[in-house]
């Protein structure tokens, strides 16, 4: 499980012993309780996980004061338990126990359910309130299909209380990033195309929980997404039966993954007006050399020839008159790997 947090608060690791700093210990009001200090002062913990926190009562010179401690009520989202193994002493019968008054206590905060709340610690008339946020340890999203075909749209719907940010990003461990087709304006869902070879949970970076709106989370879906070997959009090795790609409006882009099934893999484009098109071809294994080429309606090779360079990825831009054209990926050398990715952008005419 991968989980990251960005926000206005950074959670420090509790080391159990708080450091005391100060000047002359006889200055101010030594031994008179001034405040309770805590490390950390704010707790962010996964559901089903725990976080340590330590407390000291100090005077105005940060000198520690032995005292008895009490912990107030906690909300339903988490528990707080004093660590009975922290700094015990021997009692009269030789067994270890916590002293009646302690200069420092340590407690364990255990997350139960995603939520936000607080608890109060008191000692010698002083108190401190600790905010606690329990965050999701995974993303219990609803996915439209855990085994989508290549080219089949995957819809991921967020659970109640979690919202996708406008700049959310998506990735799979060990596979190419999915293509974002669209994302709901209210952050409730996203539609993706998954790359061939994918077999992992979806990692989403940029999630805001309703119970902690200042946080931004990175969570993994509970479901593993596995792209099947079947493709909804396999380019054909015969231009006359090649699948037709929809040309986007001027300034827009379409992108799709496909399986490199043939040495020459063709796709059909039909233009009704003079159109400037940029096509980018990428592939899984850059040790393989793939050329991107064009045919006209008569199946004759035509310019541009700027995407047959041996580089990766390949890209070409050209202005075409109305008509039928074919773009194809040619395996010039080596193995392209598990997938092709085609990105087609319609540019304003020069």
- Residue 28 above 70 pLDDT? no
Residue 12 has pLDDT above 50, yes or no: no
Q: Which of 226, 253, 269 is the last residue of a domain?
A: 226
Comparing 228 with 32, which gets the higher pLDDT?
32
Q: Look at 92 and 310; give whichever has higher pLDDT.
A: 310
Residue 200 sits in the same domain as residue 293: no
Q: CA triplet 256, 257, 260: central angle to 5 degrees?
A: 135
pLDDT confidence of residue 343: 96
* Nearby residues of 100 by Cβ (< 8 Å), 6 or more positions away: 68
DSSP assignment of 198-266 equals: -EEEEEEEEEEETT-TT-EEEEEEEEEEE--S-BSSPPBSSGGGPPBPPPPPTT-EEEEEE---SSEEE
Count Cβ atoms below 10 Å from residue 111 Cβ, excluding itself. 24
Q: How confident is the model at residue 13 (pLDDT cuts 50, 70, 90)?
A: very low
What pLDDT is recorded for position 6? 42
User: What are residue 331's DSSP bridge partners?
Assistant: 290
CATH number at residue 74: 2.60.40.3450
| 159 and 100 part of one domain | no
Domain that holds residue 188: 142-226
pLDDT tens digits, 29-48: 788 999 999 999 999 999 99
Structural domains in the chain (count): 3
| Same domain assignment for residues 121 and 172 | no
| pLDDT of amino acid 348 | 86
Pair (16, 127) in one structural domain: yes
Q: Is residue 325 part of a domain?
A: yes
Q: What is the pLDDT of residues 167-216, one digit of tens each?
A: 999 999 999 999 999 999 999 999 999 999 999 999 999 999 999 999 99
| Residue where one domain finishes, among candidates 226, 256, 281 | 226
22-31, 96-105, 272-281: lowest mean pLDDT where? 22-31
CATH code: domain of residue 288: 2.60.120.380
243 and 330 housed in the same domain: yes
Neighbouring residues of 63: CB distance < 8 A, sequence distance ≥ 6: 20, 22, 25, 30, 31
Q: What is the mean pLDDT of residues 59-72?
A: 94
Q: Whole-angstrom Cα distance, residue 250 to residue 254?
A: 11
pLDDT tens column, 322-346: 999 999 999 999 999 999 999 999 9
State pLDDT tens for residues 108-129: 999 999 999 999 999 999 999 9
Tell me, yes or no, whether 243 and 127 share the same domain.
Answer: no
- Tell me: do 271 and 149 sit in the same domain: no
Please report the pLDDT score of residue 350 as a whole number.
Answer: 76
Q: Is the pLDDT of residue 9 over 70?
A: no
Q: Output the pLDDT for position 24.
A: 57
Residue range 89-102: average pLDDT?
Answer: 74
Are both 200 and 288 inside the same structural domain?
A: no
Lowest mean pLDDT among 218-232, 239-253, 318-332: 218-232
Q: Is residue 73 in some structural domain?
A: yes
How far is 110 from 118, CA to CA, in rounded Å?
Answer: 13
Tokens 């990251």 belong to which residue?
Answer: 4
Whether residue 26 is found in the same domain as residue 88: yes
232 within domain boundaries? no
**pLDDT given at position 33:** 95
Looking at the fold, whether 129 and 183 belong to one and the same domain comes out as no
CATH of the domain at 158: 2.60.40
In a domain, 317, yes or no: yes
**pLDDT averaged over every residue in the chain:** 89
State residue 235's pLDDT score.
83
pTM of the model: 0.80
- How large is the average pLDDT for residues 82-86? 86
Residue 27 confidence (pLDDT): 64
Model confidence at 230, in pLDDT bands (50, 70, 90)?
low
User: Which has the higher per-residue pLDDT, 323 or 234?
Assistant: 323
Domain end (from 84, 113, 135) = 135
111 & 148 share domain: no
Q: Can you give the pLDDT at residue 10?
A: 35
Whether residue 85 sits in one domain with residue 25: yes
């Amino acid at each position: 499980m991968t989980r990251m947090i960005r926000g206005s608060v950074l959670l420090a690791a509790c080391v159990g012993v708080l450091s005391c700093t100060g000047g002359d210990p006889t200055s101010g009001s030594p031994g008179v309780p001034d405040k309770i200090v805590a490390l950390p002062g704010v707790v962010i913990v996964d559901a089903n996980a725990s976080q340590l926190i330590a407390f000291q009562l100090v005077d105005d010179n940060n000198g520690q004061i032995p005292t008895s401690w009490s912990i107030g009520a906690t909300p339903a989202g988490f528990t707080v338990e004093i660590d009975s193994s922290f700094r015990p002493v021997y009692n009269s019968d030789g067994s270890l126990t916590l002293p009646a008054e302690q200069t420092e206590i340590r407690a364990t905060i255990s997350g139960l359910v995603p939520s936000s709340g607080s608890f109060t610690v008191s000692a010698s008339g002083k108190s401190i309130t600790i905010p606690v946020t329990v965050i999701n340890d995974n993303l219990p999203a609803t996915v439209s299909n855990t085994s989508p075909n290549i080219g089949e749209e995957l819809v991921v719907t967020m659970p109640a209380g979690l919202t996708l940010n406008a700049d959310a990003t998506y990735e799979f461990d060990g596979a190419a990033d999915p293509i974002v087709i669209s994302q709901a304006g209210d952050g409730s869902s996203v539609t993706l195309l998954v790359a061939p070879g994918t077999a992992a949970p979806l990692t989403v970076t940029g999630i805001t929980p309703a119970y902690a709106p200042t946080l931004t989370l990175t969570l993994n879906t509970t479901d593993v997404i596995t792209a099947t070997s079947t493709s909804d959009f396999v380019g054909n090795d015969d231009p006359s039966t090649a699948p037709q790609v929809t040309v986007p409006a001027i300034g827009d882009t379409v992108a799709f993954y496909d399986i490199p099934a043939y040495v020459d893999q063709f796709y059909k484009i039909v233009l009704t007006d003079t159109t400037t098109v940029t096509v980018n071809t990428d592939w899984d294994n850059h040790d393989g050399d793939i050329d991107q080429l064009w045919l006209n309606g008569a199946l004759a090779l035509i310019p541009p020839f700027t995407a047959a360079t041996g580089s990766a990825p390949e890209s070409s831009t050209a202005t075409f008159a109305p008509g039928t054209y074919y773009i194809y990926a040619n395996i010039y050398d080596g193995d392209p790997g598990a997938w092709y990715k085609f990105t087609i952008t319609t540019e304003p005419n020069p």
